[in-house]
Structure 1
Amino acid sequence: MSESAVNTNNKIIKMATITESLQIASKHHRANDLTKAEQVYRQILEKQPNHPEALYGLGILSQQVGKFQNAEQLLNALLQIQPNSVKGWFSLGNLHQAQSQLPAAVEAYQQAIALQTDSAPLYNNLGYTLQLQGKWEEAVACYQKALELQPNCTEAEANLGNALHAQGKLSCQQQAQYAALNNQLGRSRQQAKDLKNAVACYRTAIALQPDFLDAYYNLGVALQEQGDLEEALVSYQKVLELNPDNGEIYLKLGKIYQDQKKLSEAISAYQQGLKLINPHYLKAFVADAGTEKAEEVPITPELPQEEVIVRNYKFPKIPAVAASEKKRPFWSVVIPAYKRTDYLLECLASVLAQWTGEEEMEILVMDNASTPPLFDLVNAIGRGIVSYYRNSQNIGLAGNHNTGIILSRGQWIHILHDDDYVLPGFYSQLKESLENCSDSVGAAFTGFDNINEKGVFLSKGDIFYWYGENRGIIQNWLLQIGVTNPLRPSAIVIRRQTYEKIGGYCSELSDLNGWELCKRIATFYDCWYEPKILACYRLDTSLYAQKMSNELFATGNHAVFLRRAIEITESYLPADLCTEITTNARSYNFEYLLENRVIFPLMSGNMTGALRILQEALKIDRSPEAVAKLFAWLTKDEAAPLRNEIAAKLLAIPQENIPDNIPIELKSPQTAIAP
């Protein structure tokens, strides 16, 4: 083969890799997983700095996250390479418009129109920019041109109506029509996470129709998501003026008061909302109103601490439910809690809204020795329904989980952490699937959303990308969960008999005990997947939470737990799958530590923590391939401090400790890992 042919083939391979990377970046971008999308876009631009699609994608992403200067640089770089890029000029116009740089926006839109004269969105956006400059007649002409090109363009039609309204040219009937259009457009903008324009649309709808209840509601939701809580309160109060029996609004008020640390107001709002939306709750609330309030905080009873052996490893035993004439509920919802009050009311309210009586569901709050106790807060909205237990001392996360499971009587158990919550339909939809499913099913899970500390959507849970809409028993689940965990506790329910057979949570694995339990379940049972998004898992992105997370990873303890989770699982995996799963788990998690976790101690200058993570990574996978990856990683700029540290340690070894003649023995490549 000629040298030119080799070069051509290499180029094709590189282009194929970049094309695949761009598809991955676009997928993350569409899913609003902006961090991952940005990483991949930047990786592409490292290899090809002038790649137009990567420049465009990263430019749009930069605008989304408010990095306007960076976005402008990227879009201008794209237009230097492709001056006839319509989407480049269009996006640059949108960027200028968002920053109120209106003349520059007009110029960019006109450049785009000169290249593509039949685009309704271009004329619409140009019209809106002209409208913002008070050029009404020119704006109206642009909107009419957009509608001529695309008669069903809702945005252009709404903008035309708004322009005519500003000039006093609409009848009352037309005002109502355009109010509905603006409300529809606002929902579309909100779904696209364009909250600024969504709020503007809702306000316009209200200006056109001052008694438009749906627009007030949508405006409140958008403002709340923006973090403008006081304005959201005003909007929600207006909804209640128009419809005093709207229970959902009271729940949203409760969430706002909770975020503002106004717990008394939050309790009152949650109570009122739950009474309005759930007749079962109302009945229980009224029945309990006349009973005497408990003076003493209930203490968790002493429970036997026994073990069950699964193949070669011991786990905490979960005894069977004691015989009783009382019917067992279908659900036991166990809410572990410790000190935190930030989200507990919201978590409880999400469950209580779906509570249909004690015959169907029991709710247990397991307070892990909080000081002061959480009893009064739980009782405020859960009295007469929720069973509260307070441990006399902190027994750890796994111990608290297991205690709640032992105290439960339900057929299926849901461990719901106090900062997470479920969405409407979680319990009813899962029950519909589970009450008729095979006894081979030991656990089930739903789709879920990742949210931040303010409750704002961040991304869909990874399980959505794994299985999409494929409802039912997951095939080859063990091969996948055995390598990494895409699940979160809020989305998982487990049959109580499963716990009774294979035991509870392993206490030595800290935050990875859930992954190990899922692997243990998958070894002996089938797992059911309910694809709808029915739960929310909170990722605290605050600076304090990031600091605490960084400190956890900086110690290297997480890497130790990861290694032990793999080793424990290896003790009970099926013989025919054990080698495959363990090898894949070791390889995957070696790379995970190398690419995602060593950086935390490095950022803080903690060389000891970084070296410990590398040490644990090599204990996980010491194969020649892993060692080669480690040496390749050490050549990166970010690893420079660690390279220097390793070199210093080597130089510090006393000369007399190094033998003059080091015998070399050729061995076959090592593939097995000694714990």
Structure 2
Amino acid sequence: MKTNSQILELAVKYHRANRFNQAQQSYLQVLKEEPKNPEALYGLGLLSQQIGQPQIAEKFLSNALSVQPELLKAWFSLGNLHQAQGQFPEAESAYQRAIALKPDLASLHNNLGYTLQEQGKLEEAIVCYQKALELEPNCREADVNWGNALHIQGKLSADKQPHYAQLNYKLGVAREKAKDLPNAIAYYRQAINLQPNLAEAHYHLGVVLQAEGELEAGIDCLQTALQINPNYGEAYMCLGLIYQTQHQLNEAAAVYRQGLKLINPHYAAAIKSQPVAEFVPEKYASPELKLGEVTVGNYQFPAIPPVTASEKKRPFFSVIIPLYNRKDYMLECLASVLAQWQGEDEIEILVMDNASDPPLYDLVNAIGGGIVHYYLNSENIGPRRNFNRGIALSRGEWIHLMPEDEYVLPGYYSRLKSSLEGCPDSVGAAFTGYENINEKRKVVFTQKHSGMKRGINKNWLQRIGGSNPLNPCATLIRRAAHERLGAYDLINLYTPDWELYKRIASFYDWWCEPAILARYRQHSNNMSSEVFLAGAQGEYYRMGIEISESYLPQEYCAEITARSRDIYFNRCLSDVAIPLKADNVAGAFRLIQEALKINSSPEAVTNLFNWLATEKATPLRNAIASKLISQASNQSNSEENLNNFYFAYP
């Protein structure tokens, strides 16, 4: 049993890793035992501000201060909260209280000065900035704000305006990196005010406005940047993202194409020599491959044939992007790969269209013509067969299978190639850190693989065996490993990626590249959302555990399997909240049944009964008590629901 101090330490760790849900639960767990714990109250206040709940944030910070009036960081955060909300008198008061506790902190005097400046108290603001610079002569924020205040008063000389424009711009970049977008916007606008032809400031202002959902204002800024600098490739790329968000996909494709030409000379040369090809379905029909089987443990998996001999050099990477009807995020996915494309000897890109209606060739060709290999299946063969077909058609040494709603960040392929081209043959796969973003592109989770070093980590099998910390966008698999151990299991409908990773980890080392180099998108139209609402994931958690139990190394098998059963039993209980919130009691009951199949130990059953006694389980408890749900009817519904799932990827 963890102590409150240990739980608080864990909450702070989650908080710093942007794992906000886990941090919030841990802070609340502390408050359950100590309702007046100032550190937990402060942590919840800061977290609430970060996730856009200012009123709740103010409540928690005020409660922390009522318990500990001399908690400097709470006064500072409260001042920042009020300032961000435009509540400048309240911010001024909070900063004054903080300064009374620590009068020699330059950042406090700077923030107070900005608050005074926003209230029109320029002389008082300048005094604060001067005090900040006296305490910390290299305080760039105070220097910039001092220059801005002088400019408002008409006292900043013309020859100094470009200098302060650049300082504002650099501060805007710093605030943007720190996710402090309101202040980033303010600095960029001030930079433009001082130097209207500063294209970089217009571009970055457009990027931040796009991130804040102000799409039309973002378009105006990006177009201004392009008027100043017509060769600003990054501005075209951001315009493509905005048009994509507005579902103007043809416009998005056009500007993505222009941006890619400017930022990637390899891309520009390749598409220049290729005429726009007319779509002829027969020309792009994917081969009807019949894959054999390979046995691993007690199970058979689809076999991947070796690459046929050819005079053509094998590429280092094969990027496989499966498609089926969805297109809202496809262009961004393709563009993220094409921006890093260094020629067909380095990266081949295979787009596997699983009989979309209509086919998605035109959009793919709009930015990938001459580079991307587009394959159209004659019928929908299911997601995993589509994946496996792409792997079988690939020629690269390393396979990167990436769903069309995910994307890679700059440096993904170059960083991995520098590591993998010299790695030993014992390495069968590699992975990077990644972020989860929501439909508004806000980061909601960061996977940094804490405790793992760059390179081969000998404890990787134990980690991946217990649960899956990876996403496809962040994972590469050596093609030779597929040739030896097979591809995606056709029966497992939800966790075949996890099972495949365990299969490879049982026979190969894995390379870890901890940097955040990819992004997974959480949205209402992805397969995970549908499966979780139906409560169908439990049986596939169990399937993934049972399959790997037959091939895990004997010395680790029992330990890994037991830990995995414990983890996924608890995950099923946690996941029950999703169908219950949607009033799908049958889905919740289905998860409970699977939880007991995963782990029926006395400890697990006790945990289940304790959980069923909680208030959040009332609908499920009532349903069980009144026998409204039977196992037979649930099984019938299960079979019917599985046929209706939209599987874009496993």
Q: What is the TM-score when the length of structure 2 is the normalising length?
A: 0.93
What secondary structure sits across from 2:466 in the alignment?
Answer: coil
Q: CA deviation at 1:49?
A: 0.9
User: Match for 2:471 among 480, 483, 488?
Assistant: 488
Q: CA deviation at 1:466?
A: 4.4
* Residue of structure 1 equivalent to 2:281: 296
* Residue of structure 2 equivalent to 1:446: 432
Q: Tell me, yes or no, if structure 1 residue 465 matches structure 2 residue 444.
A: no
Q: CA deviation at 1:313?
A: 0.7
What secondary structure sits across from 1:524 in the alignment?
Answer: coil
Give matches, 1:250-649, under 5 Å.
250-289=236-275, 293-296=278-281, 298-461=284-447, 463-467=448-452, 470-540=453-523, 544-545=524-525, 551-594=530-573, 596-649=574-627
Range that drifts further, 83-92 or 364-373:
83-92
Range that drifts further, 236-245 or 301-310:
236-245
Distance in 1, Cα, partners of 2:78 & 2:417: 50
Distance in 1, Cα, partners of 2:66 & 2:497: 51
Q: CA deviation at 1:26?
A: 1.6
Range that drifts further, 526-535 or 361-370:
526-535
Contact map agreement 2:279 2:362 (CA 8 A) in 1: no
Distance in 2, Cα, partners of 1:441 & 1:285: 35
* Residue of structure 2 equivalent to 1:668: none
List per-residue Cα deviations over 1:524-582 (Å, max 9, x = no partner). Answer: 11111122222221122xxx449x75652243321001101100111111111111111
What secondary structure sits across from 1:288 in the alignment?
Answer: coil
List per-residue Cα deviations over 1:164-221 (Å, max 9, x = no partner). Answer: 1100111123222222222222122212211111101110111112222222222122
Give matches, 1:133-282, under 5 Å.
133-282=119-268
| Change in CA separation of 1:604 and 1:382 when aligned onto 2, cut-off 3 Å | closer
Identity, in percent, stands at 57
Range that drifts further, 555-564 or 122-131:
122-131
Q: CA deviation at 1:361?
A: 2.2
Contact map agreement 1:58 1:71 (CA 8 A) in 2: yes
Distance in 1, Cα, partners of 2:291 & 2:628: 48
Q: CA deviation at 1:650?
A: 11
Which residue type is aligned with residue 104 of structure 1?
E
Structure with max Cα Rg:
1
| Change in CA separation of 1:648 and 1:326 when aligned onto 2, cut-off 3 Å | same
Which residue type is aligned with residue 273 of structure 1?
G
| Change in CA separation of 1:49 and 1:375 when aligned onto 2, cut-off 3 Å | same
Unaligned stretches of 5+ residues in structure 1:
1-12, 653-675
| Change in CA separation of 1:268 and 1:603 when aligned onto 2, cut-off 3 Å | closer
User: Match for 1:109 among 78, 95, 100?
Assistant: 95
Distance in 1, Cα, partners of 2:361 & 2:313: 27
Contact map agreement 1:550 1:600 (CA 8 A) in 2: no
What secondary structure sits across from 2:400 in the alignment?
Answer: strand
Contact map agreement 1:50 1:78 (CA 8 A) in 2: yes
| Change in CA separation of 1:129 and 1:357 when aligned onto 2, cut-off 3 Å | closer
Contact map agreement 1:202 1:216 (CA 8 A) in 2: yes
Which residue type is aligned with residue 360 of structure 1?
E
Distance in 2, Cα, partners of 1:292 & 1:22: 60
Distance in 1, Cα, partners of 2:503 & 2:403: 21
* Residue of structure 2 equivalent to 1:672: none
Range that drifts further, 506-515 or 638-647:
638-647
List per-residue Cα deviations over 1:431-465 (Å, max 9, x = no partner). Answer: 2221221111111112222222343333322x432
Contact map agreement 2:175 2:183 (CA 8 A) in 1: yes
What secondary structure sits across from 1:414 in the alignment?
Answer: strand
Unaligned stretches of 5+ residues in structure 2:
631-650
Q: CA deviation at 1:87?
A: 2.4
Distance in 1, Cα, partners of 2:592 & 2:455: 40
Q: CA deviation at 1:619?
A: 0.8
Residues matched between the structures, number: 629
List per-residue Cα deviations over 1:260-303 (Å, max 9, x = no partner). Answer: 122222122122122222222222212112x7534335211111
Contact map agreement 1:186 1:202 (CA 8 A) in 2: yes
Which residue type is aligned with residue 520 of structure 1?
R
Distance in 2, Cα, partners of 1:531 & 1:118: 38
Range that drifts further, 279-288 or 523-532:
279-288
Higher RCO, Cα 8 Å, sep 6+:
2
Contact map agreement 1:444 1:527 (CA 8 A) in 2: yes
Q: CA deviation at 1:421?
A: 1.3
Range that drifts further, 205-214 or 640-649:
640-649
Distance in 1, Cα, partners of 2:324 & 2:63: 51
Which residue type is aligned with residue 280 of structure 2?
E
Which residue type is aligned with residue 293 of structure 1?
E
Contact map agreement 1:491 1:535 (CA 8 A) in 2: yes
Distance in 2, Cα, partners of 1:331 & 1:392: 26
What secondary structure sits across from 2:434 in the alignment?
Answer: strand
Contact map agreement 2:277 2:369 (CA 8 A) in 1: no
Distance in 1, Cα, partners of 2:578 & 2:8: 27
Q: What is the TM-score when the length of structure 1 is the normalising length?
A: 0.89
Range that drifts further, 643-652 or 156-165:
643-652
Contact map agreement 1:550 1:601 (CA 8 A) in 2: no
Distance in 2, Cα, partners of 1:481 & 1:500: 21
